[in-house]
Structure 1
Amino acid sequence: MPIGTIRDLGAEGKTVLLRLDLNSPIDPTSNLILDDKRFREHLPTIRALEKSRVVIVTHQSRPGKKDFTTLEAHAEKLEQLLGKPVLYVDSIFGRHARESVHAMKPGEVLMLENVRFNAEENLTLKPEEAKKTHLVKKLSSMADVFVNDAFGTAHRSQPTVVGLPLVMRSAGGLLMEKEVSHLSRVFSGAPRPVCMVLGGTKVDDSIDVARHVLDNGIADQVIVIGVVANVFLAAAGYNIGKPSMQLIVQLKYEPEIQKAKEILVRYRDRVVMPESVAVRQDNHRVEYSIDHIPDDAPVLDLGMDAVATLVQTLKKAGTVVFNGPAGVFEDADFATGTYELLKAASKVEFSVIGGGHTAAVIDKLGIEKDFTHISTGGGACIEFLTGKKLPAIDALEQSKKIFG
């Protein structure tokens, strides 16, 4: 069942609770926001609600982290990008918040305090439990309808994400709609061949994605890079060296080697592993074929032979879904694999990038406009690609059933 959209909501003149994901990299000393990509992605939704009273519910980081802070800087940044005032209220649902919302006129925008300052928002709850929380009761009493545009938190079963849609007429925002429509196209109607590139360090998620897309014939090929490739190489019986193996153990991904083995047994012809790697020796980049990886040097990038082969594979693809870097791209000596594969991926007919680190690299390379879709949610995007229904999407579908 599809989620409701802003167009169906009839929000004109109403008070709208708008859940955004403005969680951004912050300089802890100055509280300056270092990257405003997520803000920019939400602007179309805020503008589409210009005849409503818009009450923004959002978060920054989570308890215990250095960048867990108030949203004063976020309201200022949004005001700057939106080109109209954004009132910041240092309360979530206290008297000051309620009175400020009550005093709003249509067309005005207000941002409540970091919703994760409320302990309930940090709980993982079933929707039926979430709707009974004080947080959901108090927030829902302050507005007429709810719009969820926070795709970046769509995989979390938290009160504002899954509780509010059960008690209020709700819809997905324009960004939520865009994310769902592009990512759904990967499963049906994407130009063939479909090639998944799975890298970075989220090995367990990547293995789930690989299994899902291979079992269901969604992807024709899965290219593994980064730590994901090291797990597959170990599964295929290659010695990846002590430092790379230690990293896998440290990240608690040893059980994934067995899962990678099972995938290789069934789909060896469709999983593409790098044939060479680059390591650091005596402070230099040195390349080795995968059957001669030194025991004492960490694997930090693809070798140039591997880059050339994988680029050729990508050139033949109709669709590329790319999630996670090929190596330690922050170090210029080991950025080649990530850079070259992304450049190749940008040239295919339909290209989807799974957010996070990969999106940051694309920004740096200045090739953002060459991709069909760059997801704003790393974790949410990869979970969507494993074929699981995201809690936020499920809750919006339930809301449509309840409220029409």
Structure 2
Amino acid sequence: MPAFNTLDDLSADSRVLVRLDLNSPIEDGTPQDNRRFERHAETVRELAEAGHRVVLLAHQGRPGRDDFTSLGGHAEILADRVGRDVGFVADTYGDEALEAIDALDAGEILLLENTRMCDDELPEASPEEKAETEFVRTLAPLFDAYVNDAYSAAHRKHASLVGFPLVLPAYAGRVMETEYEANTAIATREFDGPVTMVVGGTKATDVIGVMDALDDRVDRFLLGGVAGELFLRAAGHPVGRDVGEMDLFDEQWERNRELIESVLDERGDAIRLASDLAYEGPDGERAEVPVDDIGEKETGYLDVGATTVADYEPAIRESDAVFVKGALGVFEDERFADGTVGILDAIAETNCFSVVGGGDTSRAIEMYGLSEADFSHVSIAGGAYIRALTGEPLPAVETLEAAAERRRD
């Protein structure tokens, strides 16, 4: 069990400062509803229904990027998900924000402006330094408690994530609690049968590090995506290379070649590689080719083939636990969703403990009509999920644990 306090430990009738992660795709200046709003709404609703005065912190984008924008639209989406009004003030810790916080009644909800519009928020620094910022010192005295529900940002040392737990009683929200328990299960739980990890996506550097770190916890790895092609390259196949204007493979190969070759050499019996790959044929339709028939890479491969899916399915169906990190193909294009969806279907039909990690991969569940209830946990975290799998510390979780320890003392 986690060593932090949760909402079950929160005193009644509190004025609560709650950190969410509502970072979303922005289209034409408008935030798009996604799974994060739905998940965080559970924590916010629970706090409001319990009669707490609820003030929310969240971020969107980074300064200088196109998706760096105000949170006014986020408040509207969250209100729909919570089923209650969510007030918004275009200020974080100035007079306007302080007045709005002071005016809150029991059960009311207020979202403050984008935390990354504050100079104190973004620079990575120790929790002790963040606790001394004007941002934290101004807001903290107005609250009885701090709740961190932003597990997907827990790998960051930002003021709103690590500063407040040093100066306020601190608790984990429901998203933080469930994400932590599911994503650390691979290291903390004992499983009776085989443990399988499906590895894909475009960020091969991340997942290769995960494979190396988990070599004693995972019985077999099923590979696809960019990482899968790089391992095929290490195995002697003429793939895993950039062609045309592509810029996915060669740089990651140079950075990870030694690690890929050592992992393949040491754990080759546990690593399953694609036997066929899919690409866009001359007529624009999906086409497939056996890996052994590829003499030279002349086109981009966008999915694993049907034979690979058929090869991977038995390994999943006999597993006691399956962890997914990354899609096996470009599932956003329906022509190249067969690998990702086929594997997710097999997991959904198997009575195993299953975690689907990463915001991108979890979107395939919704896009292709799968039921989230058929998986033990669908994570909304990306970088934090990687950290949890590799056993690296999550600063925001550590500060929650330290806060709980101080209360026990």
Pair 1:328 & 2:327 matched? no
Partner of 1:172: 172
Pairwise CA distance, 1:372 = 1.0
- Which residue number corresponds to residue 379 of structure 1? 383
Q: Is 1:304 the counterpart of 2:302 in the alignment?
A: no
Contact 1:242 1:298 in 2 (8 A): no
Matching residue of 1:52: 52
1:201 maps to which residue?
A: 202
Q: CA deviation at 1:359?
A: 0.9
CA positional deviation for 1:182: 1.6
Closer/same/farther in 2, CA of residues 252 and 274 from structure 1, 3 Å limit? closer
**CA deviation profile, 1:209-264 (whole Å, cap 9, x unmatched):** 111111xx211111111001011111222210643695345654522122111101
Alpha-carbon distance, 1:80 to partner = 1.9
1:255-294 pair list within 5 angstroms: 255-282=255-282, 283-293=284-294, 294=296
Q: How does 1:73-222 map to 2 (within 5 A)?
A: 73-187=73-187, 188-214=189-215, 217-222=216-221
Matched, 1:394 2:406: no
Q: Supply the AA of the counterpart residue of 1:189.
A: E
Give SS of 2:146's match. strand
CA contact (8 A) 2:226 2:240 kept: no
Q: Displacement, 1:82? A: 1.7
Alignment match, 2:318: 316
Letter aligned with residue 334 of structure 1: F
Equivalent-residue separation in structure 2 for 1:68 and 1:361 (angstroms): 25
1:352 aligned residue (344, 350, 355): 355
Distance 1:185 1:384 in 2: 9
Instruction: Note if contact 2:33-2:77 (Cα within 8 Å) is conserved in structure 1.
Output: no
8 Å contact from structure 1 (residues 234, 257) kept in 2: no
Gapped regions of structure 2 (runs ≥ 5): none
Identity in percent: 37
Query: Structure 2 CA distance, aligned partners of 1:323 and 1:98?
Result: 42
Q: CA RMSD in A?
A: 1.8
- 1:66 aligned onto 2:66: yes
Alpha-carbon distance change, 99 to 205 in structure 1, aligned in 2, over 3 angstroms: same
Report how far residue 114 of structure 1 moved: 0.7
**Contact 2:20 2:150 survives alignment (8 Å):** yes
Partners of 2:224 and 2:243 lie apart in 1 by 13
Shift of 1:118: 1.0
Between the aligned partners of 1:287 and 1:249, the Cα distance in structure 2 is 20
Which 4+ runs in 1 deviate beyond 4 A?
249-253
Deviation at 1:289, TM superposition (A): 2.2
How far off its partner does 1:105 sit? 1.5
Letter in 2 for 1:287: E
> Is the contact made by 1:248 and 1:254 (CA closer than 8 Å) also made in structure 2?
no
Structure 1 spans left out of the alignment, 5+ residues: none
Cα gap change, 1:242/1:176 in structure 2, threshold over 3 Å: closer, same or farther? closer
- Distance in 1 between residues matched to 2:171 and 2:4, nearest whole Å: 6
Equivalent pair of 2:309/2:342 in contact (CA under 8 Å): yes
Contact 1:241–1:296 (Cα < 8 Å) also in 2: no
Contact in 1 for aligned 2:53/2:107 (Cα 8 Å): yes
C-alpha distance in structure 2 between counterparts of 1:261 and 1:252, whole Å: 13
Range with greater deviation from structure 2 (112-121 or 252-261):
252-261
Query: Which secondary structure does the structure 2 equivalent of 1:339 belong to?
Result: helix
Paired with 1:100 and 1:257, the residues of 2 have a C-alpha distance of 55
More divergent stretch after superposition (74-83 vs 318-327):
74-83
Q: Which residue of 2 aligns with 1:254?
A: 254
Amino acid at match of 1:229: G
Query: Is 2:228 the counterpart of 1:226?
Result: no
Which deviates the most, 162-171 or 179-188? 179-188
Q: Partner letter of residue 220 of structure 1?
A: D
Conserved in 2, the CA contact under 8 Å of 1:20 and 1:148? yes
Aligned-partner residue type, residue 223 of structure 1: L
Amino acid aligned to 1:167: V
Deviations 1:336-366 (A, max 9, x none): 1111111112122211110311111100122
Q: Which amino acid aligns with 1:388?
A: E
Residue range with higher mean Cα deviation, 91-100 or 1-10: 1-10
| Distance in 1 separating the partners of 2:166 and 2:288 | 55
Specify whether residues 352 and 172 from structure 1 end up closer, same or farther in structure 2 by C-alpha distance, changes over 3 A only.
same
Is the CA contact 2:205–2:252 (under 8 Å) kept in the aligned structure 1? no
Amino acid at match of 1:378: G
Distance 1:390 1:290, change over 3 A: same
Please say if residues 149 and 174 of structure 2, whose CA atoms lie closer than 8 Å, have aligned partners that are also in contact. yes
The alpha-carbon deviation at position 111 of structure 1 amounts to 0.6
Residue pair 1:231, 1:256 contacting (<8 A) in 2 also: no
SS at match of 1:299: coil
| Local SS of the residue matching 1:310 | helix
Instruction: Name the structure 2 match of 1:340.
Output: 342
| TM-score normalised according to structure 2 size | 0.93
Q: How many residues are matched?
A: 399
Q: Give CA deviations for 1:268-302 in whole Å, capped at 9, x if unaligned.
A: 10111111112234244332222332321112111
Distance 1:242 1:174, change over 3 A: closer
Per the TM alignment, residue 85 of structure 1 is displaced from its structure 2 partner at its CA by 1.7
Q: CA deviation at 1:393?
A: 0.8
